[in-house]
Structure 1
Amino acid sequence: MEKDSIQAYSKRITQANRTELVVITYEIIIEHVENAKKYYENRKEFVNSLEKAQSFLKELMVSLDFNYEISSNLLSLYIFINKQLIEAKQKNTCEMLSRIQGMLESLLSSFKQVSEQDKSAPLMQNTQKVYAGLTYGKEDINEMSVMADSKNRGFRA
């Protein structure tokens, strides 16, 4: 995963509620599966990407709330996906990765719909709000990001 992606996910995580965190986790898993397909020729990067996808998948598994019936169905699906990732690593093949990615994208779209309806507060309470914008220079456009409580806000000569 690229440094820019990590920073973007980090900012989103600090402002996310419970269902948004699930959406972000799915997006991260999908990105690692895409990276595995991209790095298929490089065995080390291929395996590393699949292992990272597995670690985030395990986070989804352990965070399931079994008071809801759907949790056992999701667990079965997560176990199946994990087995497919293990098989892809062992056989050094990416044939099943497209199918896995399709399943994950289907789950992602479902959780996105749930996330849009969830109006609960972010889980992380003591975080700074991040404001971002563009400033226009004489010959270019500059991106600017400022923390809400930052003492360095505003124009400095």
Structure 2
Amino acid sequence: MIASNYREQYLKTKVETASPGDLTLLLYEELYRKLNMAKMNFENQQFEEMLERIHGARAILYELVGTLNFDYEISSQLRDLYVYYLSLLNEFAIKRNCEQLEEVIEFSKEFSITWKTALNMTKSGQGLKNDK
């Protein structure tokens, strides 16, 4: 239990000191983690735990929708993506079709990788170069 307290304190500090970009990455990574745990719970027929993880994943997707800045055109596209994956999670919770869960897991994995790459490029200055 003590290790859990250290992990919680570490995450709390990490969130409190993170930039907006880093916070978004944390959300994508936590989404991926929760979805994988839900899949494991599903495979082990631990349906109550699975639904808790799905609920947590949906909360993250709602948070991602809530943080969108609609001054940028891409925000509408991201909102549509998030809403689509929310609908897949809702369908999975009802129908228990693992293909739907797999699709959301793949999305969260790819977005985590993409966002991390973009952050690293921005931090290193590569994303700011304008080659002519």
| Pairwise TM-score range, normalised by the shorter structure | 0.7 to 0.9
Point out the structure with the larger helix share: 2
Q: Percent identity?
A: 25
Structure of greater Rg: 1
How much is the aligned-residue C-alpha RMSD, in angstroms? Answer: 1.9
Give me the whole-angstrom Cα distance separating, in 2, the residues matched to 1:107 and 1:14.
Answer: 22
1:109 aligns with 2:113: yes
Match in the other structure for 2:76: 72
Gaps of 5+ in 2: 125-132
Structure 1 gap segments, 5+ residues each: 120-157
Going from structure 1 to structure 2, the CA distance change for 1:38 and 1:5 (only over 3 Å counts) comes to farther
Partner of 1:63: 67
Q: Name the SS for the 1:68 alignment partner.
A: coil
Instruction: Render the CA deviation track for 1:50-106: whole Å, top value 9, x for unaligned.
Output: 000000110000110000111011001000000000001011232221221111111
2:43 aligned with 1:43, yes or no? no
Change (3 A) 1:85 1:5: farther
Query: Matched residues in 2 for 1:98 and 1:11: separation?
Result: 31
| 1:24 corresponds to | 26
- After the TM superposition, which of the residue ranges 32-41 and 8-17 deviates more from structure 2? 8-17
6 and 97 in structure 1: CA distance in 2 versus 1, 3 angstrom threshold: farther
* Pairs within 5 Å for 1:1-12: 3=4, 6-12=8-14
Question: How far apart, in 2, do the equivalents of 1:71 and 1:38 lie?
Answer: 32
Aligned to 1:99: 103
Question: Per-residue displacement from partner, 1:102-137 (whole Å, max 9, x unpaired)?
Answer: 111111122112222148xxxxxxxxxxxxxxxxxx
Q: Distance in 1 between matches of 2:109 and 2:82?
A: 13
Tell me: CA distance 1:5–1:31, structure 2 relative to 1, closer, same or farther (3 Å).
farther
Give me the TM-score of the superposition, normalised by structure 2: 0.81
Distance, in Å, in 1 between the alignment partners of 2:7 and 2:28 is 14
**Partners of 1:108 and 1:5 in 2: CA distance:** 21
Q: Number of aligned pairs?
A: 118
